[in-house]
Chain A
Amino acid sequence: MKRLYFVLSVLVALSMLLSACGAPATEKTVLNVWSFTNEINTMAIAFEGTHPDVDVVYTMIPMTNGEYQTKLKAAIGTADTPDVIALEAAFVKEYVEADFLADLGELLPIAEAAKTYPFVTDVGTNAADGVIKGFAYQATPGAVFYRRSLAKEYFGTDDPAEIQALMADMDKFIEMAAVIKEKSDGNTYMVGSSGDFQNPFFANRAQPWVVDETLVVDPMVEKYIETAKLFRDEGYEAQAQQWQEGWFAGMNDSLVDANGNSKQVFSYFLPTWGLPYVLAPNAKSADGAHDTSGDWGVVTGPLPYQWGGTWLGAMAKSPNLELAKEFIRFCTLDEKNLTNWATGVYTNDYLKAIDPQVPEDQVQAAGDFVSSQVVVEKITASFDDSELSAFLAGQNSYAGFAAAAPSVNAKLMTGSDDAIQRALNDPINQYLNGVIDADTMWTTWKDALRVEFPNLVIK
């Protein structure tokens, strides 16, 4: 027993020693920022550089298992609320439509001057009363990436303009898929999964999901399911799910079906961030045997859409509301900051000069697509020779997105979208697998919706 007590007391002493710490009190104004990513911290440090009297206390809470959303929802009613919160596309509208965020209307003239893409401000605006509550530093228009070598093989050209003409609308996209299947003997799929083009279809609905508390199924939704069924039945898609290994394997041409036959994927629907973070790293297979870098082209694709993105909002109750607004202005509308952000000025050394405590890999590489059209126009040319442009065989990656961005529309987006769309996925899968028929699919989905939307009228 004595030994046991000894071990215990050593453990206690050790833990006290290790956890002993003391942060010196600062006299600066403290601005509390909560986010689910590390990246805004880069701008927070830059903000401290231009505002030496401010101490931005940055708190990162992951949202993998819903920690961030739960903590936000728990904290918003209490005295512990932060001043500024980051909001992801999936749940930004919930907060924009609620009463907790401050009206950022006074920043609108600045946004106009910066020519912020309209769909970015639309997302931050409460459609019910037109009040704007969130701005974003990035715009995340979507595009279609295609394999140049396969395009040459099946269509005789890999020129982006010609490929865009070939897939200018969804009917043409389907025709393309048929041609590819025929010419490849079914060994090349148009897309990795039918989930790839779900976003584009949904982004081009004519009506929102909910009108007057009543569920609306837009014709575009039916069209999507029809198309997905066609792709499954005709074998135009690889049946890989997004974010699953088969989907990634297709990016570097190492996709092999269960029998060991090699398969190709012709195109991927990905937004701005998808290029540097998803497609480019996965273009090399893990074993190094396959590499598709330089074999990609980018076009706007059949339907304009946007995917993801991070918005910033200020808590209405914040005691430092003016400072919070200034922080949001700096991050999302300041021309100099956005230029620095997008062109790789915020190196680790740059940040270390402001705050020596900055961790080694806090850095923002060049290439993020920003929300200000003014900035985009000014810096596009600087990406002519970038690494990502080389990845696209010389096509300017930034210009590709700049072409896609103006046609994106986000006016229909509401706080309920994410849940409504996620509830549809499993019924669709069951329908595509042939387990249930279309009618059962619709009723299963509508039943599931009642769980999260008790007041929704469903016909």
Chain B
Amino acid sequence: MNQASLKRNYYGYLFIAPFVIAFLIFGLYPIYNTIALSFTDATLMSKTGNFIGLMNFERLFADDIFMNAVKNTWLLWILNFIPQVGIAMLLSVWFTNARLNIKAVGVWRALFFLPNLLMPAAVAALFFSLFSFYGPVNQFLVRSGFLPEAMQFLQDVTVTRSLVIFIQWWMWFGQTIIILIAGMTSIPLPLYEAAMVDGATSTQMFNRITLPLLKPILIYVFVTSLVGGMQMFDIPFLLTDGRGSPSGSIMTNNILMYLKFSSSKGHIGAASSVGVLVFFMTSICALAIFYFLREKDSATSKSAKR
């Protein structure tokens, strides 16, 4: 590395400066505030809070409600993430496959993205009435003999969890398709052409070209989905009573946090401790993803590719 390029690298600071400044002005205080509050018994309805050390955290582990919420969140996320990426990947491969030459890819992509534009409250209300005791799903299942009598779907653990997973998949797979297509189409075509000349099958091309070159984007999808999943809130909150019912089966980390925070006294200190723990848990997992998926030496491998 010569003198000029060393000096040039200082430009990096210039490029990240706006981000750093904006973060210091807008982002730092709320984060500091959340962490600081997690060590206090502060409530929104009283003006002061006392430092109580790790008491909030101890309380979280005193019963299994917090661990239960963590388990639920993981379960709901994993069961929605696998089909989400799986189907999105399949569709993206089809959409970008020159041989298949799917017509109006832009229209399909836009239609699959539509659910993402809807307000979660409207979506939850819709599914609630579809599956209510006197709703059309019950009518259909009973009249066609699949069920002996109407059932309270949204008071059933398995049905409610499946619904949350389905709605999450439904709302987000279109977005994943857009990201994956953006990634796939930036893979240079000559690579595929060369592979085809060599007689590679589509599976081989997918495994040897698409997957490795898509890795940065896949890491992005994986990590953001993990973060979104660990903070899952809207749909499980709005679908039933906002308390993770039935039997706490869709109580997620963030619903638990919200319950503490919106309780009559507004236990913001206790709520912050949930937020802090979830933050640590997610960070560790995300950094682990990076560690295991990292490229051995990103600089050399990239120049080799080009």
Contacts and interface: CB of A to CB of B under 8 A. Distances in A.
The answer to A–B direct touch (Cβ < 8 A) is yes
Interface of A: 64-66, 69-70, 73, 76-77, 91, 93-95, 97-100, 239-241, 244-246, 249, 255-260, 415-416, 418-419, 422-423, 425-426, 429-430, 433, 435-436, 444, 447-448, 450-454
Interface in B131-159: 132-135, 138-139, 141-143, 147, 149-150, 152, 155
A448 B65 contact: yes
Nearest to B238: A65
B47 interface: yes
B256 A260 contact: no
B133 A69 contact: no
B59 A245 contact: no
B45 A94 contact: yes
- Most B CB atoms within 10 A — which of A73, A97, A416? A73
Contact of A244 (B132, B240, B246, B264): B132
A98 B47 CA distance: 9
16 contacts: A64-B121, A70-B262, A73-B45, A94-B45, A94-B264, A99-B47, A100-B45, A244-B129, A244-B133, A245-B132, A249-B134, A422-B241, A426-B245, A436-B247, A444-B248, A448-B243
Interface of B: 44-47, 59, 63, 65, 121, 128-129, 132-135, 138-139, 141-143, 147, 149-150, 152, 155, 238, 240-241, 243, 245-248, 256, 259-260, 262-267, 270
A98 B46 contact: yes
B151 to A, nearest CB: 9
Contacts of B246: 426, 429-430
A450 B132 contact: no
Contacts of B265: 94, 415
Contacts of B59: 450, 454
Contacts of B46: 98-99
Contacts of A256: 134
Nearest to A263: B134
Nearest to B255: A451
Given A258-B143, A260-B143, A415-B265, 15 more contacts: A64-B121, A69-B262, A94-B265, A240-B133, A241-B132, A244-B133, A244-B134, A259-B142, A418-B264, A422-B243, A425-B241, A426-B241, A426-B247, A430-B246, A454-B267
Nearest to B155: A429
A257 B150 contact: yes
B259 A452 contact: yes
Given A246-B134, A258-B149, A454-B59, A426 B243 contact: yes
A239 B152 CA distance: 9
Contacts of A77: 47
Contacts of B44: 73, 76
B135 A259 contact: no
A423 B243 contact: yes
Contact of A430 (B150, B238, B243, B247): B247
B65 A416 contact: no
A99 B44 CA distance: 11
Contacts of A415: 264-265
B149 A452 contact: no
Contacts of B155: 426, 429-430, 433, 435
A95 B45 CA distance: 8
8 smallest beta-carbon distances between A and B, as pairs: A246-B134, A452-B263, A258-B142, A426-B245, A258-B150, A98-B45, A415-B264, A73-B44
A239 B133 contact: yes
A259 B264 contact: no
A448 B263 CA distance: 12
B248 A246 contact: no
Contact of A258 (B121, B138, B241, B267): B138
Contacts of A426: 155, 240-241, 243, 245-248
B40 to A, nearest CB: 12
Contacts of B150: 239, 257-258
B152 A433 contact: yes
B263 to A, nearest CB: 4
Contacts of B260: 451-452
Contact of B129 (A66, A91, A245): A245
Contacts of A246: 132-134
A65 B121 contact: yes
B103 to A, nearest CB: 25
